[in-house]
Chains A and B, each alone.
Chain A
Amino acid sequence: MLHTIKAIALYEALNILRDWLFRIFAGLSLLIMTGLNILFFSSVSPVPYSVRSISGFIPYTNLILITIAQTAVLAFVATDIFKRDRKLDTSEVIYIRSLGNSTYIFAKTLGILGVFFLLDLLLLLVFAVLHLAFSKTGFTAAPYLIYPLVMVLPTLVFVTGLAFLLMQLIRNQAITVLLILGLLGLNLIYLGEKQFYLFDFLGAFLPLTYSDFVGIPDLGWLLLQRGMYLAFGLAFLWLSVRLFRRLPQSGVSTRLAPLFGAVLLLAGGWVASIYLDHFYNGIRLREAMAGINQRYLQTPNLTRERLQLTLKHSGRRIQADAALTLHNRTSAPLDQFFISLNPGLQVTETRINGQTVSHSREQHLITIRPPQAVLPGDTLRLQLNYAGRIDDQACYLDVADTTRHKMFLIYLMNKVAKKHAFIEDRFLLLTAENLWYPRVGLPEGAGFPENRQGNFGEFDLTVQCAPGMLPISQGEREDLGDGRYRFRPPYSLPRISLVIGPYREDRITVDSLSYHLYTLPSHRFFEEYFQEVGDTLPAVIREARQDYERALNLSYPFRKLELIEVPVQFYTYPRIWSVATERVQPEQAFLPENGTLLPGADFKSLDRRMNWSLDRNNQSMTDKEKEIIRFKRFVESTFTRQDALPRWMSEFGNYIPNCDIFPHFYSYVNILDSPRWPLLNAALEGYLYRKANGADPGGGRFSEGMTDEEQVSRALRDQTLTALLKSPRDSRLRTDAVQLSGEYLFKMLESERAPGQVSGLLIDLVEAHRFSIVRDSLLIRQLQQQLDLDIRPALQVWQEGKSLPAFKVRDIEMYRVQDGDRLRYQVTFLLYNRAEVPGIVEIAFRARGEGRRRGFGDFGSDTDLARTVRLGAREAREIGIVLDSEPQMIQINTVLAENLPRVFTQRFDDPETRRKAQPFDGEKAIAYLDLENPGEIVVDNEDSGFEAYNPPYRSWLKRTLLGERGEQEETYERFRSWRPPNQWEMIKNAAFFGDYVHSAHYIRSDGGPKKAIWTVPLPDAGTYDVYIYIIDKNLLTNRWERRNEWGTFNYTIHHDDGAEDINLDADSADPGWNLLGSYYFSQGKAVVELVDRSGGKLIIADAVKFIKR
């Protein structure tokens, strides 16, 4: 039989090899993929470094692309075999040979698979050669072997089986191919991610990124998914044997084939259920843990003072003996207490003061009843022996399942597993979030926002690890011999972490602070970029540290800083209760493998930009100077000022590892404990964090949708901060809300006293209480005593208040003014707060000629803060600012207010010189009512009189796949002039008309019968001038976007004598109010309509104004 199989397989293979479709596919694959590889992965590649930073990316990315293309070609080739069989009369001479139907079908399968698989191997070989020849990424052979077997082979078998089966059932090649291509498309655009990648028959969505530290984590689970498709593919083949239209030769095809098919289908289904169970068990586990946390939230507990831990890392397990010194700080005796430990770790023994005691366990929570109640002030020693692995799914209970299950993508192609802990043969990484050591009480953040349960304590860790492995934890590493090491941090800490790996250590000490870098010995990609800087490095490091400390006004509190390379799969989520993520631990920051995804590690791109800039400015730089810039840029972009990704990019699975070292300056060394205002600690942290990161005085690109800050402002318009934090809104919004409202709170407090007074006191307090808890009473007392400032009412309003200030800016002017013998620049405007609560605005200017970054090595802000203005409820002021240099633009940041955009910007034209004007630098109170314009009736697109109806319509396909469009939250979108929406969408821009929300509706021209209607309430009958507000096109669009014509906006004015159509050329209309005409209207409601047809690209609906004559 083997002989026959070989004969048929070879014959099929020969036919495929001579098939033009296959030849074209193979040729193009070779050509295109070789080109792409040279383009993407070579060291001269212009694409971002992260695309090629991991050695496994080369085979991984390539095979994803090939698998997709190959599936399409395979659908043709596999179905063609049966079409050919049917078409060719010569196939009958084969059918009458002595061979079973199963032999025939499987031999053909083998022929097809052989050809495609060999092609893949050949391509991989080419990639491997290119990898070795062109790429500087280290070469690892394992992914070249794993990916074809795990990703490609099951897909090939599945698609071949499916093609065979469909051909037997449908007997039509075109329909079969269409069905398979449809499935392929569905996999790629919709199904791939669903149900934990269950439907991803391509394997293109499975997180298969290979790490040089740990390989492919959780490969076992992923193999189940692959196994399922392999089983289904084989099942389809057996069913094809049964359905094959040739008289069977033996009972195998008639009786056994359907049996095998059914068994394999069941096996595939069974494997799928195990696979899904794994994930759903995780969901259930987290639900159970969250439920337990809720139950124990108010239960009094002991406090940990000291933890002595001995841990042995052997293979894929840890074994630990923990001794905890616990203290009853409550005012009542406790007859039981509880600790949390990862559910994957099994406790074998618990002892109190040397005496064995029993314990009960619910998932992570271990409840222990001491022989006698622990009296207030008493201390006991608890010993705990435990062993096992970390269950990753028990981490991040605060993160919604939908967020957890979102992909982690590196540049669209490479899907990475999200891992929070590693215990592998040659690597271990454990952080507090994993509950790898007993945590007294509930997991961190379980009670947030009411209670965070932070604490400082003493740690003493002894680690036993395999030869060649280096453990890293907080404190100095003492080598005890025989692979044993001890860590005793010299300060109280809120947490410790442990990393063990085959590391190479680099160390430098600057100003008694030691800096350590731990990398894999083969991961030294950065060395070539730092050949010369050696002796200058201490000075550069010193400067970087001083800059940061100066910006924050706080000193680095630890004795060392360790930068540790960790697997690319290590994934951290932002926390709502703290700026700190698991990526940064006391004394440590975990850098992703090979610097992947760190913008600052893309030295190549930086060099390109730097050289371009130098060439343009006809400058030159020594290699050493370039290296210093590289270093500074890396430090700055990795550890400070890290920009968050645009929301849509993170929605898409993109991720920047957050290595911000801010937590070292506050989060891990201070706790401001406030039972009454539990958010106070997070607020202070947020305030300091935004201060350290130079929170944007500018406003970002003007065509963006809502910024994170604006989303927070929107969310806080009508609910308290506490309510928002408890709501199921996305965690990024809630995290931002804590930080932004913290910044707002402390800026408000600052604005009540002279600049620097409040912040100075805060900084002193923080510095004076490192590694310990500060009670809120101390802060309140000091502010009261030293600055005569009672912050309690402000705290109450801040935490429980429901309204925000709303600022209106009017009459901005800028002109030259004679100030003594100098010509200076005078800016004046009116500012008033329409809300019932006070607020602050920050005014900044961008000087002329500072449109872009000023150069390399200069990291100063583009925009300088000129003044902070505080306005009480319904208060109005005239503001005057005199500047020495000519401003190009004013930016008025409303911090946390109802305003949209949050930062109001206005560009200045060339100023006139007003010889007679007096310079005015200050604030003048003016009457609030003076600012209203009587006689004007305005209906803005934000008002209730405006209507832009969007039918809840979706195409049939979208409805089928995504369901009906539900009620959508009102949001402002990015302005896309090149591809406007076919539904009315809201956009914001300071140049739109608005009271404090400057927005408009816009839509694609000819989007459908969708009108915008303004209904204007007229108190009296009479003749009215009707105006329409047109935005300055130049302010909304850039040079390229301006080329798109907007066309003619067609308004219909319904007045007493009928309706009048007015056409307005939107491209050439004067910015601002445009008079459409004067008409007689009766008392009641007047209607102006705008149809969605302009002959151009888009329609914008903003505001109408009626003025009675």
Chain B
Amino acid sequence: MQISIQNLSKIYGQQKRALDDVSLQIESGLFGLLGPNGAGKTTLMRILVTLMEPTSGQVLVDGRDLQHYRKEIRAISGYLPQGFSAFSKIRTWEFLDYCARLSGLKAKAARRDAVDAMLEKVGLFEARDRMAKKLSGGMKRRLGIAQALIGDPKLLIVDEPTTGLDPEERIRFRNILADMGHSERIIILSTHIVGDISSTCNDMALLNQGRVGFHGPPEQFIRQAAGHAFQLEVSDRDLPRIKEKYAVISTIPAERGWLVQVVANRLEEPAGKTIEPDLEHAYVYFMDKQAG
């Protein structure tokens, strides 16, 4: 399966350019879409799930234009929107059953099995009879992924799924996604949380101000930051100056002050040492560079 995004632009009203000539090739597997808030990720996601039309450009899904094959593409899509939390008066299993029906599962017994299996998979089986609106934030998000997955969609689009989740839920969620990513399907995970991508995605793009800043495997993205990630120990007195001068990734209390990780083109502090960058370092480095 393949998605080809070609010169996609979206302009809201007269001025606001949410997407600016975005072109991407996405292959099967977990694809991470990284970018700060307002970068245009959600706009891109909404175009991909046919909730919105682009101003220009086109999207081909397995060679078929998204604008002309909505029915077919919707039939293979699953979607978890950014804020998936508000429900009408419906039980957990009923909601999933409704989604299962809409995704084409007709036979009652098969549907029941599929719903139960999915609930089991996302760890909601115990909560199947609870009203959906009464679930916790994490459970709701899990229900969200369950509804997105229920018809075994070939294209799964997940927008900011881990925002607001506690670490345990977040890890659990990442694991579910990772499990899904093995089969012949595309999962597009949009996030501004670097950790989501580093732990799951085999391909990624970085979107900033509506443009693609980077597209490639996460390792390649990380490599861009090699030699630019540093760790140094600073005193209380120096810490404000360091924060002012460098993009600080982390600040950990140490014996004689603070252990600080920063990214920079060049470190002008004598005590600092180069460390192996991770995705977070690479992202901050990238954004810092973009900001000039």
A residues contacting B by CB (< 8 A) are: 3-4, 6-8, 11, 14-15, 18-19, 84, 87-90, 92-100, 246-250
B46 nearest CB neighbor, chain A only? A92
| A84–B52 alpha-carbon span in the complex (Å) | 20
Q: Can you list 24 contacts pairing A with B, beta carbon distance less than 8 Å?
A: A3-B104, A11-B94, A14-B89, A18-B89, A88-B88, A89-B83, A90-B95, A92-B51, A92-B81, A93-B144, A93-B147, A94-B102, A96-B51, A96-B77, A97-B102, A97-B103, A99-B74, A100-B71, A247-B51, A247-B52, A247-B70, A249-B70, A249-B74, A250-B70
Question: Which residues on A sit within 8 Å (CB–CB) of B31?
Answer: none
The verdict on A98 contacting B101 (CB below 8 Å), with A90-B84, A93-B84 known, is no
- B interface residue count range (under 10 / 10 to 19 / 20 to 34 / 35 or more): 35 or more
The verdict on A89 contacting B94 (CB below 8 Å), with A94-B102, A247-B70, A249-B70 known, is no
Cβ < 8 Å to A, chain B residues 90-127: 90, 94-95, 98-99, 101-104, 106
Question: Which residues on B sit within 8 Å (CB–CB) of A90?
Answer: 81, 84-87, 95
Question: Which residues on B sit within 8 Å (CB–CB) of A89?
Answer: 81-86
Q: Are B53 and A93 in contact (CB under 8 A)?
A: no
B66 nearest CB neighbor, chain A only? A247
User: Contacting B53 at CB < 8 Å: which of A88, A92, A247?
Assistant: A247
Q: Are B79 and A93 in contact (CB under 8 A)?
A: yes
Question: Which residues on A sit within 8 Å (CB–CB) of B51?
Answer: 92, 95-96, 246-247
B79 nearest CB neighbor, chain A only? A96
Q: Please tell me if B186 contacts chain A, counting CB pairs below 8 Å.
A: no
| A11–B89 alpha-carbon span in the complex (Å) | 10
Question: How far in angstroms is the closest Cβ of chain B from A955?
Answer: 43
Q: Please tell me if B264 contacts chain A, counting CB pairs below 8 Å.
A: no
| A247–B50 alpha-carbon span in the complex (Å) | 7
Give 3 nearest A-B pairs by CB, closest first: A7-B101, A18-B89, A98-B75
Q: Are A88 and B86 in contact (CB under 8 A)?
A: yes
User: Contacting B74 at CB < 8 Å: which of A3, A19, A88, A96?
Assistant: A96
Question: How far in angstroms is the closest Cβ of chain A from B84?
Answer: 6
Question: Which residues on B sit within 8 Å (CB–CB) of A7?
Answer: 98, 101-102
Interface 0/1 of B55-89, CB less than 8 Å to A: 00000000000000011101101011111111111
Question: Which residues on B sit within 8 Å (CB–CB) of A4?
Answer: 101-102
Question: Which residues on B sit within 8 Å (CB–CB) of A248?
Answer: 70
Q: Are B90 and A14 in contact (CB under 8 A)?
A: yes
Question: Which residues on A sit within 8 Å (CB–CB) of B99?
Answer: 93-94, 97
Question: Which residues on A sit within 8 Å (CB–CB) of B70?
Answer: 247-250
Q: Are B87 and A88 in contact (CB under 8 A)?
A: yes
B148 nearest CB neighbor, chain A only? A93
A97 nearest CB neighbor, chain B only? B102
Question: Which residues on A sit within 8 Å (CB–CB) of B53?
Answer: 247
16 extra A-B contacts, CB within 8 A, seeds A8-B102, A90-B84, A96-B74: A3-B106, A14-B90, A87-B86, A89-B81, A89-B85, A90-B86, A92-B51, A93-B80, A93-B84, A93-B99, A93-B144, A96-B50, A97-B74, A247-B51, A249-B74, A250-B70
Question: How far in angstroms is the closest Cβ of chain B from A594?
Answer: 47
| A14–B148 alpha-carbon span in the complex (Å) | 22
A18 nearest CB neighbor, chain B only? B89
Question: How far in angstroms is the closest Cβ of chain A from B69?
Answer: 10
Q: Please tell me if B49 contacts chain A, counting CB pairs below 8 Å.
A: yes
| A494–B250 alpha-carbon span in the complex (Å) | 114
Question: How far in angstroms is the closest Cβ of chain A from B129?
Answer: 14
| A839–B82 alpha-carbon span in the complex (Å) | 96
User: Contacting A11 at CB < 8 Å: which of B71, B74, B98, B103?
Assistant: B98
Question: Which residues on B sit within 8 Å (CB–CB) of A18?
Answer: 89-90
Question: How far in angstroms is the closest Cβ of chain B from A21?
Answer: 12
B48 nearest CB neighbor, chain A only? A96
Question: Which residues on A sit within 8 Å (CB–CB) of B101?
Answer: 3-4, 6-7
Q: Are A98 and B81 in contact (CB under 8 A)?
A: no
Question: How far in angstroms is the closest Cβ of chain A from B1?
Answer: 17
Q: Are B88 and A15 in contact (CB under 8 A)?
A: yes
Question: Which residues on A sit within 8 Å (CB–CB) of B72?
Answer: 98
| A276–B53 alpha-carbon span in the complex (Å) | 47
Question: How far in angstroms is the closest Cβ of chain B from A17?
Answer: 9
User: Contacting A98 at CB < 8 Å: which of B71, B79, B82, B144?
Assistant: B71
A16 nearest CB neighbor, chain B only? B89
| A248–B71 alpha-carbon span in the complex (Å) | 9
A95 nearest CB neighbor, chain B only? B51
| A87–B101 alpha-carbon span in the complex (Å) | 23
Question: Which residues on A sit within 8 Å (CB–CB) of B87?
Answer: 88, 90
Q: Are B86 and A15 in contact (CB under 8 A)?
A: no
| A19–B89 alpha-carbon span in the complex (Å) | 8
